[in-house]
Structure 1
Amino acid sequence: MSELVIEKVWKEYGDQIVLEDVSLTVASRAFVALVGPSGCGKSTFLRMLLGQERPTRGTILLDGQALPQEPGPDRGVVFQRYSVFPHLTVLGNVLLGRELSASRYKAKLFGTARRNAIDEARRLIAEVGLSGAEGKYPAQLSGGMQQRLALAQALIMKPKVLLLDEPFGALDPGIRAEIHTLMKRLWHETQMTVVMVTHDMREAFTLATRVVAFERKRDRPEEKERYGATITKDISIWPPRLAGAPSVFSPDRDGPVISLGLRRDDPASSPSGEKP
């Protein structure tokens, strides 16, 4: 399970209120897109889900438990700027998460454990369409390939929640469409909940099961420090998108297919937690 419950969350920096009284429940395996004008606190909200920031007031729960004080393997993240290590190959970048989790200080695996981790990393690299590029360095990859690598980096740890901070905004339209197709397939085939920040409304309505809008209700210059942004709209996509199954009403050509290595979940439940 990977349910997020955000209850009456505020975020303040000194006298400036960025977010005020934000409450939201994200059901397990939902795909939620966060939209709104620049500077309204969407990325700040995402950083609080990651654990980089702490709420000034309110609580954030993951499966009924308070989030740890710092980021952990239960939450993966992909940023707009490719968060890959330039001195490591594609295989090395994907393998690093497994090595760090097994040996915090040496960051090395040995023997059977290393062979198993390499096999898993290679399967995941193939899943994201980078088969044959295992020995290349990030500088030798295109922007779209680097973003595929960043996705593989995040997914190797099998996170409960995948956080995306405008990850496709810098890509060309054609490459972005390919990444959208990949993202749909990965969401269908894994058991993770996805929360994505985007400025592209078409992207939000193409990928998500819900679109949540943040906005400052009071946005005059003299009000910006005294009032923060909050949720103004919460739109469920219709017909409903179900993780692991195509829509009954409008089958998705980018829906679930047979996976090379990632687990699939029971499609019987709706990701939004609501009956269609």
Structure 2
Amino acid sequence: MSFVSVSNVWQAYGGRSILERVNVDIAQGEFISIVGASGCGKSTFLRMLLAEETPVRGDIRIDGGEPAREPGLERGVVFQRYSVFPHMTVRENILAGEGFATGWGKLFGAKRKAANERADQMLARIGLNHVADQYPASLSGGMQQRLAIGQALTAKPRVLLLDEPFGALDPGTRLQMHDFLMELKAETGMTVFMVSHDLEEAFKLGDRVLVFDKPRWDPVDPGLYGATITYDFDARDKGIPFQNILDQYPSLVPA
């Protein structure tokens, strides 16, 4: 059964088509990797999933609900650069995530104590309880990105959107973050969309890999047509060597 439904979605900027005829259905709990050449609309698609942008045609629905017209609590987002508040401590950043869900209402007394306890539980879950009173600038890149993910999860989103979340990390930290993300997904059962320029990462983490490309191309006016989903790979069969996929679909290899 479809949990996220994308139906005949088009997007354009200034009359120029960016995405066209995008149709896809996603089951609850699936991890969707999104790949494609630069400028083919991957981040635009993510912004529409977030409801930060509204398509010029078609609609996106979550669990059969009405199309969203602005970002809401059911969608969490993490960007490549650590989207945390530098002037707040690690614990305060997690509390801010809870503030998203409460309209930034002030918490006092028992409510404040309960919120602090929930924040400490989240910090333990993401392995940052030992740096709760430090500021983000003192943390490593991987720790800052774990904090950003923890902050997003605090609002209990049904869909987590990741825009190149590990692109700024060194290879070793990146592998650690892969394990961390998969553990969180298994625990929460969230539906995840991740934009990545790393094909191997996309196939490693994703249940499915959506490839965005332009099936129509005008050599005189390369920007005339928009991109769409040209491949929808089932990546759950980890027994298929990654290189075999690249050999079968050479257009996936960056130029």
Match in the other structure for 1:18: 18
Aligned-residue identity in percent: 52
Mapped partners of 2:237, 2:182: distance in 1: 16
Structure 1 residues 171-180 or 62-71, which shifts more? 62-71
TM-aligned CA distance change 1:103 to 1:205, over 3 Å: closer
Q: 2:234 is matched by which residue type in structure 1?
A: S
Structure 2 residue aligned with 1:78: 78
2:129 pairs with 1:131: yes
Query: What is the SS of the residue equivalent to 2:166?
Result: coil
Q: Check conservation: 1:16, 1:224, Cα contact below 8 A.
A: no
- Deviation, structure 1 residue 150: 0.2
TM-score normalised by structure 1 residue count? 0.83
Q: 1:158 and 1:207 mapped to 2: Cα distance?
A: 21
3-state SS, counterpart of residue 220 of structure 2:
helix
**Deviation for aligned residue 1:155:** 0.4
The amino acid of 1:209's aligned partner reads D
Where has structure 1 moved over 2 Å in runs of 4 or more?
99-104, 218-226
Could you tell me how far 1:221 is from its partner in structure 2? 4.7
Structure 1 residues 162 and 238: alpha-carbon distance in aligned structure 2, compared to 1, 3 A threshold: closer
- Tell me which residue corresponds to 2:93: 93
Question: Could you report, residue by residue, the CA deviation over 1:78-97 in whole angstroms, capped at 9, with x for unpaired residues?
Answer: 00011110110000001012
Contact 1:11 1:57 in 2 (8 A): yes
Asked if 1 retains the 8 angstrom alpha-carbon contact of 2:73 and 2:100, the reply is: no
**1:201 equivalent among 199, 202, 225:** 199
The alignment partner of 1:46 has SS state of: helix
Instruction: Look up the equivalent residue of 2:99 and give its one-letter code.
Output: E
Residue 125 of structure 1 and its aligned partner are, at CA, apart by 1.1
Write the distance in 2 (CA, Å) between the matches of 1:59 and 1:217.
21
Change (3 A) 1:166 1:100: closer
Matches of 2:131 and 2:217, distance apart in 1: 48
Q: 1:216 aligns with which of 214, 217, 224?
A: 214
Question: Which residue pairs with 1:58 in the alignment?
Answer: 58
Matched length: 240
Contact 2:218 2:224 in 1 (8 A): no
Q: Deviations over 1:133-185 (max 9, x none)?
A: 10010111111111010000100011000000000011000000000000000
Deviations 1:5-39 (A, max 9, x none): 00000001122100000000011000000000000
Measured on the aligned residues, the alpha-carbon RMSD in Å equals 1.8
Residue 2 of structure 1 deviates from its aligned partner by 8.4
When residues 198 and 100 of structure 1 are mapped into structure 2, their CA distance, relative to the original with a 3 A threshold, is closer
Matches within 5 A, 1:21-36: 21-36=21-36
Structure with greater proportional helix content: 2
Residue pair 1:88, 1:137 contacting (<8 A) in 2 also: yes
Which amino acid in the other structure matches residue 101 of structure 1?
A
Aligned to 1:147: 145
Which whole-Å CA distance do the structure 2 matches of 1:176 and 1:2 have between them? Answer: 31
- Consecutive unaligned residues of structure 2, counting only runs of 5 or more, are 240-255
Distance in structure 2 (CA, Å) of the matches to 1:58 and 1:99: 32
Q: CA deviation at 1:102?
A: 2.4
